[in-house]
């Protein structure tokens, strides 16, 4: 994947290449124009680690905007984007790979590397290296999807859609014969599920005083409380 922050290149490297190809030429032009705006607005998050994520986040917002401006209802636009998002997932792949004798050892190395090189600004994880080798225990403190969907006012609209894509991966874990591998896949998927929506809900509980805040994030929660009073 050539990591170029250019509208068409990002669409083709994401999950909406097929949907984009089905759009009328005038709508394609509008999507490209909206993508250019989003790339400029969110350039602070542009780095090598976030490229793959942004190839899905920004086209989701751009295509949804254009579809609704062209006359599609919110539900119709969501149906078109979500169906192509989920169609790109192949849970059967995990089931086949799990049968390989070296799969577990490879996963133990790939998962940490995936988080290290597959995420950039806007992500923050806490790993627990004291756990036994067969466990992958980590917490997601910051999530790029949550940041950008909140910024553009579509967290409640698209957060569940991306969570559902993680559930599809988690469902695959139920059919993986190796129990340890199944646990890793399920944990990986649901950690993402937690990261997108539960982080937002948890922040709201802290702002309302229902849950103690992290002292290291006092300034952040202070800003949220000011926004909630407006």
What would the pLDDT profile of 190-226 be if each residue is shown by its tens digit? 344 444 444 555 666 677 777 677 676 677 677 777 7
Ramachandran angles phi, psi of 124, nearest 5°: -150, 125
- Which of 158, 5, 154, 173 shows the shortest CA–CA distance to 85? 158
Question: How far is 120 from 144, CA to CA, in rounded Å?
Answer: 8
Tally the residues of the chain: 230
Question: How far is 143 from 119, CA to CA, in rounded Å?
Answer: 9
Look up residue 177 and give its DSSP letter: S
Q: Could you tell me the two tokens for 114?
A: 């995936």
- Which of 181, 192, 44 shows the shortest CA–CA distance to 115? 192
What's this model's pTM, rounded to 2 decimal places? 0.68
pLDDT for 68 beyond 70:
yes
Percent of the chain's residues with pLDDT above 70: 60
């Amino acid at each position: 994947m050539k990591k170029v922050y250019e509208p068409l290149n990002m669409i083709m490297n994401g999950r909406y290449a097929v949907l984009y190809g089905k759009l009328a030429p005038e709508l394609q032009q509008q999507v490209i124009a909206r993508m250019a705006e989003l790339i400029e607005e969110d350039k602070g998050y542009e780095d090598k680690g976030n490229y793959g994520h942004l190839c899905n986040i920004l086209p989701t917002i751009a295509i949804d905007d254009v579809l609704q401006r062209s006359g599609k209802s919110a539900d119709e636009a969501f149906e078109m984007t979500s169906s192509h998002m989920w169609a790109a997932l192949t849970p059967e792949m995990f089931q086949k790979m799990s049968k390989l004798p070296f799969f577990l050892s490879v996963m133990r190395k790939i998962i940490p590397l995936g988080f290290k090189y597959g995420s950039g600004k806007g992500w923050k994880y806490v790993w627990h290296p004291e756990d036994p080798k067969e466990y992958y225990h980590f917490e997601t403190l910051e999530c790029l999807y949550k940041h950008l969907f909140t910024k553009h006012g579509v967290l409640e609209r698209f957060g569940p859609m991306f969570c559902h894509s993680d559930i599809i991966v988690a469902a695959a874990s139920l059919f993986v014969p190796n129990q340890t591998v199944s646990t890793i896949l399920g944990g990986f998927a649901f950690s993402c599920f937690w990261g997108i929506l539960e982080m937002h809900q948890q922040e709201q509980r802290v702002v309302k005083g229902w849950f103690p805040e992290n002292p290291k994030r006092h300034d952040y929660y202070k800003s949220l409380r000011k926004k909630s009073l407006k």
